[in-house]
Structure 1
Amino acid sequence: MGDNQQYDKSIEIWKMKKLIKSLEAAKGNGTSMISLIMPPRDHISHVTKLLCDEYGTASNIKSRVNRLYVLGAITSAQQRLKLYNRVPPNGLVLYTGTIVNEEGKEKKVTIDFEPFRPINNTLYLCDNKFHTEAIKEKRHNYLRKTAELATQYFISTSTNQPNVSGLILAGSADFKTKLSQSDMFDPRHRAKILNVVEVQHGGDIGFNEAIKKSSEILANVKFAREKLLIGKYFNEVNQGTGKYVVGVEDTLNALDSGAVETLIVWENLDIYRYVLKNSVTGETVIKHLNKEEEVDSDYAVEDKVLLLEWLANEYRRFGCASPQTRIAMRS
């Protein structure tokens, strides 16, 4: 897997984690939020029939408001399923319903995606929240199994102590870090961790890659990569080459002109991208504001999205690589 593919995969995983976190936080009125999970072996026709039956049942809900919410959510689920001829190889997850946002306003949402790994759970629930437990459960079980195997292989049955001098945890994404920090990971193992290494391949190739990287670095390779990128940035600054920009507006202007080769963004950047329309002239403008800044009363908000999320979706359109989301913006 090349660097760009690895970066794309990391960004997709980050977007999935962020999506699940937002789903967990979403709240609704009554039982207006549907959580639907289909395993790979399921059939779209089976779920479509289930929704038809549920529609008939929901028609008898006494509360008119809640009845309309639930019927609307079921209809949205039915419409979204029409986009699929079959359940994807890893299964299908669908969330739909009316949620209440931070401003107390209602918003209809429909979200569907294929998990990164096959999911065997089947779920259909109407509630005042979205249920993500089944998605997280598979990862939790895999984490537990890995921790159990580590104890089986690396703890001596005769001495009840580690039978290795040190451990190196290697892999892609954040699973290796989750494992090292998990309560399921034996504390005797944790004391033996020498390095946590980011690798781009699995199997023997990834194993050899981890060995090679661990012979050269003492810290997590992710932070070493960040240090290298920031070092290159400061070299440009110190040499006065002019091949860099700092700050949101200057960086985005450089992006628009196609001048950015590498983009580095702080992962906690709390700035939103607004698409605004002047209520008098009809003019459309784009503004980048933090939570404390207010939108001019002359403008109506057409779209609002976290700038970091927008960049994660759009960076490839500008022809740049986005290997890290942690430090700053530069070109």
Structure 2
Amino acid sequence: MATDDMQIRRYEFKKALQELETLKGRGTELVSLYIPPNKQISDVVQYLREEYSTSSNIKSKSTRKNVLAAIESIMSRLKSYRFAPETGLVFFVGHVATRGDQTEMYVKIIEPPEPIQTFMYTCDSYFHLEQLKQFLVEKEIYGLIVMDRKEATVGFLNGTTIQVVSNEQSLVPSKHHQGGQSSRRYERLIEIAAHEFFKKVGEIANNAFMPLIKDIKAVFIGGPGATKEYFFEKDYLRNEVKAKVKDLLDIGYTDETGLREIVEKASETMKEMRIAKEKDLMNRFMMEIRKPDGGLGVYGETAIKNALEQKSLDLLIISEDLNKVHYRYRCPQCGNTRELMTKPDGNVICDKCSTPMVLEEEEDLVEVFYRLADASGAKVEIISGNSDEGKLLQKAFGGMAGILRYVPKAANPPQQ
């Protein structure tokens, strides 16, 4: 479930940022604090003490009071940390506007999915999310090779970051203009040198890509001229790496600049690959529900929840834009609980003792269904709401669909 875990963490992270983006302060009293992993907590506390002293001079009484309360809240919570976590720590604290002229204290602490690089403290009428928004980009891994006979560079595209593995200069001599036997002998030496260079580049690429071959979405090879085609067609790359090669692209450079150029040229193909995956998922589902007997396709919150609880669901497909809440009510009289997918207009009455029930918990529906999928061993795919497939899933099937492992037997099968 590692890939599924990554998807749900990204979903929860995105939801948190969406919530933060809606919050506003009455004045410049919302504190955003970014602590990189290498920053000493003691240094951060000292910095906050200085900010506290400076903020004591704010003219507006209400703004001063709220900013000082936010700083005190952060310093109090920092006592729980000896060191910053591996990816750093981000605090969003302050009095946010509610109804009318009312405000309420808001605290959100986030451990980002990737390390933050810069320490930042701001006090504004909104929370600063710029550093975190970059982590919403899909973290897909691509292998990159740019080359000609003179030079080759091997690297990765990891999310939006280009990583250079190795840059190699060849010893292949230039063409010469001598004739006769000397020319043929020299040509052979050139081809031997080229072969050894290609062999070395292939070994570097194989050693870099093979440990991550299951995670690499595709490999792109680029360069000027026909060298890239020759390199690809011969046996310099292992079969597993060769099978991942998606495209050969004409580019002008073979150094780190070439890696950036090939990423730019391959960007449309990468986008199409993401869309193709979502299309394949929805096509599988649509093929099932078009079968005369309904096949293994299932949709609707109740049907999917039942399938997950029966452990009969193999694949759960959820729209990233699904914005629904699961409600849990508890009876204060007898302790009976009741779960609802929609919030009722009036009171929820206990079906055991007829007492009005109390709302105990609200939880994002995606998280509820993910937990059920995790317990039952079902795979989870969260697809974009911007694609045609995502829009179809949202509008026609309520934002979620599934494919069963098998059709569950009816509890009371009809008598013969």
- TM-score band (shorter)? 0.5 to 0.7
Cα contact 2:217–2:244 (8 A) shared by 1 = no
Cα contact 1:172–1:200 (8 A) shared by 2 = no
> CA separation in 1, counterparts of 2:369 and 2:340?
14
Cα contact 1:119–1:138 (8 A) shared by 2 = no
TM-score by length of 2: 0.53
Question: Residue 401 of structure 2: SS of its match in structure 1?
Answer: coil
C-alpha change, 1:219 and 1:130, in structure 2 (3 Å) is closer
Instruction: Please provide the CA RMSD for this pair.
Output: 4.3
> CA separation in 1, counterparts of 2:336 and 2:372?
23
Counterpart check, 1:324 vs 2:385: no
Structure 2, gaps ≥5 residues long: 138-145, 148-155, 162-213, 220-237, 249-268, 349-356, 384-389, 394-399, 405-416
Cα contact 2:30–2:127 (8 A) shared by 1 = yes
Question: Residue 240 of structure 1: SS of its match in structure 2?
Answer: coil
Question: Residue 85 of structure 1: SS of its match in structure 2?
Answer: coil
Aligned to 2:328: 275
Structure 1, gaps ≥5 residues long: 141-152, 155-169, 177-198
Cα contact 2:14–2:136 (8 A) shared by 1 = no
> CA separation in 2, counterparts of 1:220 and 1:231?
16
| Counterpart mapping for 1:182-201 below 5 A | 200-201=215-216
C-alpha change, 1:138 and 1:230, in structure 2 (3 Å) is closer
C-alpha change, 1:261 and 1:106, in structure 2 (3 Å) is farther
Return the index of the structure with the highest Cα Rg: 2
Give, in angstroms, the shift of residue 37 of structure 1.
Answer: 0.8
Cα contact 1:33–1:95 (8 A) shared by 2 = yes
Aligned to 2:72: 75
Aligned to 2:263: none
Question: Residue 329 of structure 1: SS of its match in structure 2?
Answer: strand
C-alpha change, 1:137 and 1:256, in structure 2 (3 Å) is closer
Aligned to 1:97: 94
Deviations 1:210-269 (A, max 9, x none): 41599xx99823333333333433444416376443201221232233332211112322
> CA separation in 2, counterparts of 1:303 and 1:101?
21
> CA separation in 2, counterparts of 1:104 and 1:288?
33
Higher RCO (C-alpha under 8 Å, 6+ residues apart): 1
C-alpha change, 1:225 and 1:129, in structure 2 (3 Å) is same
> CA separation in 1, counterparts of 2:10 and 2:93?
21
Matching residue's letter, 2:274: K
| Counterpart mapping for 1:301-316 below 5 A | 301-312=359-370, 315-316=373-374
Counterpart check, 1:222 vs 2:274: yes
Aligned to 2:31: 34
Aligned to 1:256: 309
Aligned to 2:172: none
Deviates more, 1:271-280 or 1:100-109: 100-109
Matching residue's letter, 2:365: L
Matching residue's letter, 1:322: V
Matching residue's letter, 1:307: L
